[in-house]
Amino acid sequence: MNYILSDGNHREDLFPFTFTRPVSEIRVGILTIHEKWEKWLNASVSFQTEDYLSEKYRLTVAAKNTVINGSYLPNQSLTDAINNLKMGEALMAGGDYIAYVAEKPEANFDASTYTTVAFDGDVLTIKHTWDIFSNNAAALQADFDVLTEGRTSQPIPETNQVKSPENIFIEEGATVEFCILNASTGPIYIGKNALMMEGCMVRGGLALCESAILKMGAKIYGAVTAGPGCKLGGEVNNAVLFANSNKGHDGFLGNSVLGEWCNIGADTNTSNLKNNYAPVRLWNYQTEGFAKTGLQFCGLMMGDHSKCGINVMFNTGTVIGVSANIFGSGFPRNFIPSFSWGGATAGYTTFRTNKAFEVAEAMMKRRNMEFNDTEAKILEHVFELTQKWRNF
């Protein structure tokens, strides 16, 4: 069987993160959604996504294809239901398709052309940006169970103070010394070659993924994910960093999501609770207004390659697009379009692509990675897509 992960019907609800990736490349828990499906299916998958992303995220079509909605996270019952589908059948949940089997992936799925099969089991979905941190605890536990089943952790060094060591897993090459690890409230996963510096205080769950670094004295309240290559410090609660992003200094980050190649300056703080305790609204790219989240706690959503300087203060429920650069005193607005340069005091101008690319190239070079033509083309397309919101 050939498996394809589609963007489904929720791609625009997941901006700014899906400006630069398919839905299934979102990280939640320990793994990305596509990595989860490959584990559960024991097979490689390809992507049905926007044309401008398809050079990086390839589509493979065979004579018979199972197309899976990338907003859905796998579990045993869902995987079994999908594998039981026959040609011309579609697995549905309410009015949303979960998967279908066809000769080719549909540009616009039409349930009336399929024999529908209802799925009424429990399943995690990522249909809004805030679902990423809201579902992170459950997704982290599910990934931890899959990744550690039948395996033995590296020994926990005796210099650490530990509670519930059975919920801690240390991969080969990781370093953890003189830390407090409380895994009674959620698992602690320390990835290959990850580093937890001295004095870190961790209350699970935590996913410190491959080659990620937790800085000295960090205070982590679960469920937190630091993706591969991330640097994390200060006080962090219920936040997800996709990969190669930095929040390495003091300051608070809570109920937030950072994409790839982001950088948070020292002593920057993110509000995740309004002073009047009212439910938080977040910018919605489809309606071009602020949508109800139903959440009392919601912090910062920052797209790939965005940065902020030292001592920036973010309002509750702030959305920042791709390749923005924010600095200065005062509270920035709570929607900052992609390729914005400035802040609350200085105002904003357009961050031109040639300058943005210089920053991206310099940051990626620090990780021994290349900012290539494929990456540049994606960002150029995002620059054009987001032009209408830069009313400077």
The whole-number pLDDT of residue 346 equals 87
Categorize the per-residue pLDDT at 95 as very low, low, confident or very high, splitting at 50, 70 and 90: confident
Q: Which positions ≥6 away from 202 have C-beta within 8 Å?
A: 179, 180, 181, 182, 188, 196, 214, 218, 220
pLDDT exceeds 90 at position 360? yes
d(CA 316, CA 116): 42
Q: What are the extents of the domains in the chain?
A: 2-127, 158-389
For the segment(s) 2-127, the CATH number from 3.30.450, 3.90.550, 3.40.720, 3.30.70 is 3.90.550
> Residues 9-50: pLDDT tens digits?
999 999 999 999 999 999 999 999 999 999 999 999 999 999
Categorize the per-residue pLDDT at 347 as very low, low, confident or very high, splitting at 50, 70 and 90: very high
Average pLDDT taken over every residue of the chain: 97
d(CA 154, CA 162): 14
The whole-number pLDDT of residue 6 equals 98
> CA nearest 260: which of 297, 209, 221?
209
Structure tokens at 28: 């939640």
Beta carbons of 54 and 47 less than 8 angstroms apart: yes
What integer is the mean pLDDT of 115-127? 96
Beta carbons of 319 and 363 less than 8 angstroms apart: no
Can you name the residues that pair with 232 across neighbouring β-strands?
Answer: 214, 247
Which residue reads 């616009």 in tokens?
108
Q: Dihedral, CA atoms, 70, 72, 75, 78, nearest 10 degrees? A: -100
d(CA 45, CA 110): 22
Residue 145 DSSP code? H
* Residue 169 CA, distance from chain mean position: 22
> Residues 273-312: pLDDT tens digits?
999 999 999 999 999 999 999 999 999 999 999 999 999 9
158-389: what fold? UDP N-Acetylglucosamine Acyltransferase; domain 1 (2.160.10)
d(CA 173, CA 237): 26
The whole-number pLDDT of residue 222 equals 84
pLDDT exceeds 90 at position 183? yes
Query: Are both 2-127 and 158-389 of the same fold?
Result: no
SS3 percent helix, strand, coil of the chain, rounded to 5, is 20, 30, 45
> CA nearest 128: which of 241, 265, 15, 210?
15
What integer is the mean pLDDT of 239-268? 98
Q: Dihedral, CA atoms, 341, 343, 347, 348, nearest 10 degrees? A: 20
Residue 388 DSSP code? G
Paired sense of beta strands 224-226 and 235-243, if any? parallel
